[in-house]
Amino acid sequence: MSKDAIGFGSELTIRNIQDAHHLLSDKLHQNQPLVLDLSGLIKADTAGAQLLFLTYLHCQQQAIPLHWLGASPELAGQLAALGIMIPGLGSEQ
């Protein structure tokens, strides 16, 4: 994992979404490239999937470079099952 990468552990769910949201918000306000390490993330519920998607949209709108590291097939499958497609992340890889 890059030293500047943000990791989420094994789950990004309603249980820990608030902490993840605060961390991402702080980073996004810096308008610096964002690196998200998803290598350990194997479970995302709708709240987690929405946070990832909205982070992607915000980065697109603000022209902030966003890099995804290590997305698992499990995560890609969960996003696809929820109907959430994020370019650069998911089953199209």
Residue 21 makes CB contacts below 8 A (sequence gap 6+) with 51
- pLDDT of res. 3: 66
CB atoms within 10 A of CB 86: 18
User: Could you tell me the pTM of the whole model?
Assistant: 0.89
- pLDDT of res. 92: 47
Q: What is the per-residue pLDDT across 12-65, written as a single tens digit (0 to 9) for each?
A: 999 999 999 999 999 999 989 999 999 999 999 999 999 999 999 999 999 999
